[in-house]
């Protein structure tokens, strides 16, 4: 291979060369395989052979390579790509690393993905953005579980082109029989995965055999070398051939006269004058302009980011998908998909998540786990849940219909991620197989609706926050402010206080000791039911006796119960006297008034103490929010 980078150029050639630079194609590929198969070494070797390792990098590399296995150049190439300190210490790759190199023919983006089983999610991540994969196998070990697992994930995520690199061929004395045995075993396994192309190459990444040029140590091998192969392989991704899809990402309202729909064409070609349909409303319109900052265009093809203007007012917002009439995406709230589960918290039927596909984000529930697939044998097994790194076939129902395609026809509109509604972590990645008609195959009754399910639906942890303190201490004021803030954050809350309970549910109760206990018992039971329904319940009750509050806590059972003591001095409360109760009690009109002729037993172990006389209610509410709700 020749690198234009190092060849001297006259300034006359320069414009031509720059012109070439701007017109090269791009190949995104990934490397995968089991741990220690030498992926990082291979990428380091690719960069080195393409003369892309710079002097300062080379110097520090040679320095770091002491005491490590190296090739003739005295370099451990894996050091170049194993970026994070933790990896250098452990000697393994634990995340996806992206590398870039360029030859005269192509620009390459390489995703180096890890071999350890627990990091299979990263492998799926790399695959989702790759058109080709290099599957590495150690010639001494042959095919391993990881080889099969990764190949299966490649086919699931839709990587169509595979290069089987049989590495460390030098360590089996360049034995043709070893290479051919591995190749035929892999071809047999891969036949079931339906790749479009598969090329097997014997290499030594450490020594450089068959990387950039033909190795003299493998005279029996007549196939292509790795770099020349990557430079010319046709991955045949012409997404402009498919049906037109335009997911609206952002509505551009530049002025009163301009309303455009910004997005990236996700398939096919869109032209000025085209009739289009909005997937959600099935409202028709015509494309009147295709706008970019540079120019007005007559057409836009898959992959281009543009802004479309329509010939009429149509209600369109972020997440809507435009297509040609007669070639519309599916629009449904139910579909079947295959998912790669990525987190320790398993997937269960009945769980609610956020589903994101394109610019659409909707609450979604796994309605059934049909089976999981054994990645070694490709056999299907019944499953009640999916653990991390497992692959399963599931059905999903979304809260409202979404536009989608089968993943096989469009990667952009057929792939989705599932997000945890509380932690926001990405739990799984899925590819849609097909839509289900309403009522078809859907079994809502095969899971129990329980507190956990209701909590996930609301995206919050149900709990009881019990405010205790003197009359006038600020309990209700603070609870109200906390409720407003939580509601603004999309949480679901309810406040129980003396006023709304005494006037209804408990209006039959007086103020005797037994009536007080019954009052507390009923309030605590209602709070428990509300929390069981998934709510955050804020209870604002003087509740002066430790015993009462202990009863409430016991009734709450396994529901999270937080005791908040609003500690405001009697003097302050009496000076405030918002309802005139202290004045009446002082006159003897109210008996057994807490703080005056009836004691207040301060909590011994409150979860939070707010000093009511010393700060504004808003500050106290923020303090409570930050301490109890900001994780």
Q: Among residue numbers 328 through 367, which ones bind another protein (CB under 8 A)?
A: 342, 354, 356-359
Is residue 160 within the footprint of another protein (CB under 8 A)?
A: no
We find the least distance from the C-beta atom of residue 608 to another protein, in angstroms, to be: 18
Q: Residues, the chain, total?
A: 631
Closer residue to another protein (CB): 215 or 357: 357
Q: Among residue numbers 552 through 591, which ones bind another protein (CB under 8 A)?
A: none
Q: Which listed range, 168-176, 286-294, 501-509, 598-606, lies at the site for another protein (CB under 8 A)?
A: 286-294
Closer residue to another protein (CB): 424 or 592: 424
Tokens of 124: 């799926």
Is residue 598 within the footprint of another protein (CB under 8 A)?
A: no
Pairing relationship of beta strands 161-167 and 132-138 according to DSSP bridges = parallel
Is residue 45 within the footprint of another protein (CB under 8 A)?
A: no
Tokens of 113: 């993905």
- Contact pick of 279, 291, 368, 537 for another protein (by CB under 8 A): 291
φ, ψ dihedrals at 225, nearest 5°: -90, 160
Tokens of 43: 């990428």
Is residue 295 within the footprint of another protein (CB under 8 A)?
A: yes
Is residue 603 within the footprint of another protein (CB under 8 A)?
A: no
We find the least distance from the C-beta atom of residue 420 to another protein, in angstroms, to be: 9
Is residue 14 within the footprint of another protein (CB under 8 A)?
A: yes
Total of residues contacting another protein (CB under 8 A): 89
Query: In sequence order, what E strands does 89-189 have?
Result: 97-102, 106-112, 132-138, 161-167
Tokens of 50: 């393409």
Which residues, 6+ apart, have CB-to-CB distance to 587 below 8 Å?
A: none
Give the long-range contacts of residues 68-71, CB within 8 A, separation 24 or more.
69/206, 70/206, 71/206, 71/207, 71/208
Is residue 618 within the footprint of another protein (CB under 8 A)?
A: no
Cβ proximity of 112 and 96 under 8 Å:
yes
Nearest to 364 by CA among 283, 459, 244: 459
Cβ proximity of 223 and 201 under 8 Å:
yes
Torsion region of 624: left, alpha or beta (phi above 0 gives left; psi -120 to 50 gives alpha): alpha
Is residue 318 within the footprint of another protein (CB under 8 A)?
A: yes
Q: How far apart are CA 343 and CA 132, in angstroms?
A: 26
Q: How far apart are CA 449 and CA 397, in angstroms?
A: 15
DSSP bridge partners of 457: none
Q: How far apart are CA 442 and CA 404, in angstroms?
A: 18
Is residue 8 within the footprint of another protein (CB under 8 A)?
A: yes
Tokens of 533: 């329904």
Tokens of 446: 């095969």
Q: Which listed range, 4-12, 166-174, 193-201, 505-513, lies at the site for another protein (CB under 8 A)?
A: 4-12
Which residue carries 């209700």 as its tokens?
476
Q: How far apart are CA 259 and CA 413, in angstroms?
A: 24
Q: Which listed range, 66-74, 214-222, 301-309, 444-452, lies at the site for another protein (CB under 8 A)?
A: 301-309
Closer residue to another protein (CB): 26 or 515: 26
- Contact pick of 211, 230, 233, 419 for another protein (by CB under 8 A): 419
Q: Which listed range, 173-181, 298-306, 510-518, 583-591, lies at the site for another protein (CB under 8 A)?
A: 298-306
We find the least distance from the C-beta atom of residue 234 to another protein, in angstroms, to be: 12
Cβ proximity of 248 and 359 under 8 Å:
yes
Is residue 232 within the footprint of another protein (CB under 8 A)?
A: no
Closer residue to another protein (CB): 81 or 226: 81
Closer residue to another protein (CB): 455 or 539: 455
Query: In sequence order, what E strands does 549-612 have?
Result: 560-566, 608-610
Q: At what angle do helices 475-488 and 617-628 cross, to 10 degrees?
A: 60
**C-beta atoms surrounding 182 within 10 Å:** 23
Which residues, 6+ apart, have CB-to-CB distance to 561 below 8 Å?
A: 463, 464, 466, 552, 553
Q: How far apart are CA 513 and CA 543, in angstroms?
A: 12
Is residue 191 within the footprint of another protein (CB under 8 A)?
A: no
Closer residue to another protein (CB): 182 or 417: 417
Tokens of 607: 């979860």
Q: Among residue numbers 248 through 267, which ones bind another protein (CB under 8 A)?
A: 249-250, 252-255, 258, 260, 262-264
C-alpha dist (Å) from residue 20 to 4, 10, 230, 235, 375: 11, 15, 18, 21, 43
Is residue 411 within the footprint of another protein (CB under 8 A)?
A: yes
Closer residue to another protein (CB): 250 or 444: 250
Is residue 12 within the footprint of another protein (CB under 8 A)?
A: no
We find the least distance from the C-beta atom of residue 416 to another protein, in angstroms, to be: 6
We find the least distance from the C-beta atom of residue 186 to another protein, in angstroms, to be: 26
Q: Which listed range, 2-10, 183-191, 512-520, 600-608, lies at the site for another protein (CB under 8 A)?
A: 2-10
Is residue 426 within the footprint of another protein (CB under 8 A)?
A: yes
Closer residue to another protein (CB): 409 or 569: 409
Tokens of 338: 């295959």
Closer residue to another protein (CB): 31 or 204: 31
We find the least distance from the C-beta atom of residue 17 to another protein, in angstroms, to be: 8
φ, ψ dihedrals at 345, nearest 5°: -65, 115
Nearest to 316 by CA among 363, 259, 255, 399: 259
User: Residues 81-110: x/- map of binding to another protein (CB under 8 A)?
Assistant: xxxxxx-x-----xxxxxxx-x----x-x-
We find the least distance from the C-beta atom of residue 175 to another protein, in angstroms, to be: 35
Q: Among residue numbers 479 through 518, which ones bind another protein (CB under 8 A)?
A: 489
Which positions are annotated as active-site residues?
543
Is residue 416 within the footprint of another protein (CB under 8 A)?
A: yes
We find the least distance from the C-beta atom of residue 227 to another protein, in angstroms, to be: 17
Query: In sequence order, what E strands does 145-227 have?
Result: 161-167, 197-202
Q: Among residue numbers 19 through 38, which ones bind another protein (CB under 8 A)?
A: 21-26
Closer residue to another protein (CB): 462 or 603: 462
Closer residue to another protein (CB): 56 or 558: 56
Tokens of 421: 């509604």
Closer residue to another protein (CB): 342 or 470: 342
User: Residues 107-146: x/- map of binding to another protein (CB under 8 A)?
Assistant: x-x-----------xx-xx--xx-----------------
> CA geometry: angle at 289 spanning 299 and 242, to 5°?
35
φ, ψ dihedrals at 33, nearest 5°: 145, 180
């Amino acid at each position: 291979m020749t690198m234009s980078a190092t060849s001297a150029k006259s300034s006359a050639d320069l414009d031509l060369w720059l012109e070439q630079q701007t017109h090269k194609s791009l190949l995104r590929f990934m490397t995968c395989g089991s741990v220690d198969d030498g992926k990082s070494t291979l990428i380091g070797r690719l960069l080195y052979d393409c003369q892309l390792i710079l002097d300062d990098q080379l110097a520090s590399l040679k320095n770091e390579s002491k005491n490590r296995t190296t090739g003739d150049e005295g370099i451990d190439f894996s050091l170049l790509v194993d970026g994070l300190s933790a990896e250098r210490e452990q000697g393994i790759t634990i995340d996806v690393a992206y590398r870039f190199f360029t030859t005269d023919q192509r620009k390459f983006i390489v995703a180096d993905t890890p071999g350890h089983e627990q990091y299979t999610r990263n492998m799926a991540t790399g695959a989702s953005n790759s058109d080709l994969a290099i599957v590495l196998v150690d010639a001494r070990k042959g095919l391993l579980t990881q080889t099969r697992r990764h190949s299966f994930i490649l086919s699931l995520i839709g990587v169509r082109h595979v290069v089987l690199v049989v590495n460390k061929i030098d360590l089996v004395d360049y034995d043709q029989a070893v290479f051919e045995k591995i190749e035929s075993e892999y071809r047999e396994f891969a036949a079931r995965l339906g790749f479009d192309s598969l090329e097997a190459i014997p290499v030594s990444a450490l020594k450089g055999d068959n990387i950039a040029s033909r190795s003299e140590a493998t005279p029996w091998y007549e196939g292509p070398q790795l770099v020349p192969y990557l430079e010319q392989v046709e991955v045949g991704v012409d997404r402009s051939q498919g049906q037109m899809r335009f997911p609206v990402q952002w509505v551009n309202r530049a002025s009163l006269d301009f309303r455009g729909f910004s997005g990236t064409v996700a398939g096919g070609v869109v032209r000025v004058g085209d009739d289009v349909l909005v997937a959600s409303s099935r409202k028709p319109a015509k494309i009147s302009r295709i706008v970019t900052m540079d120019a007005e265009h007559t057409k836009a093809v898959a992959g281009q980011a543009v802004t479309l203007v329509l010939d009429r007012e149509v209600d369109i917002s972020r997440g809507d998908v435009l297509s040609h009439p007669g070639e519309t995406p599916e629009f449904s709230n139910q579909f079947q998909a295959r998912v790669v589960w990525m987190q320790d918290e398993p997937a269960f039927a009945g769980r609610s998540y956020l589903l994101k596909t394109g610019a659409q984000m909707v609450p979604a529930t796994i309605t059934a786990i049909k089976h999981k697939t054994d990645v070694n044998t490709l056999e299907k097994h019944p499953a009640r849940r999916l653990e991390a790194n497992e692959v399963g076939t599931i059905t999903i129902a979304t809260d409202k219909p979404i536009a989608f395609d089968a993943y096989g026809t469009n990667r952009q509109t057929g792939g989705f991620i599932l997000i945890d509604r509380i932690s926001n972590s990405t739990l799984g990645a899925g590819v849609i197989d097909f839509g289900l008609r309403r009522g078809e195959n859907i079994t809502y009754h095969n899971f129990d609706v329980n507190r956990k399910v209701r909590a996930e639906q609301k995206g919050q942890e149900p709990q009881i926050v019990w405010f205790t303190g003197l009359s006038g201490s600020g309990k209700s004021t603070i609870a109200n402010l906390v409720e407003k803030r939580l509601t603004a954050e999309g949480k679901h809350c309810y406040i129980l206080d003396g006023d709304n309970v005494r006037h209804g549910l408990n209006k039959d109760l007086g103020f005797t000791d037994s009536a007080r206990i019954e009052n507390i018992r009923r309030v605590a039971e209602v709070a428990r039911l509300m929390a069981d329904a998934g709510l955050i319940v804020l209870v604002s009750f003087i509740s002066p006796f430790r015993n009462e509050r202990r009863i409430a806590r016991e009734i709450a059972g396994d529901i999270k119960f937080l005791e908040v003591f609003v500690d405001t001095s009697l003097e302050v409360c009496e000076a405030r006297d918002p309802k005139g109760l202290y004045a009446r009690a002082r006159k003897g009109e109210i008996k057994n008034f807490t703080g005056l002729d009836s004691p207040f037993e301060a909590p011994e172990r409150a979860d939070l103490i707010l000093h009511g006389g010393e700060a504004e209610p808003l500050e106290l509410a923020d303090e409570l929010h930050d301490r109890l709700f900001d994780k």
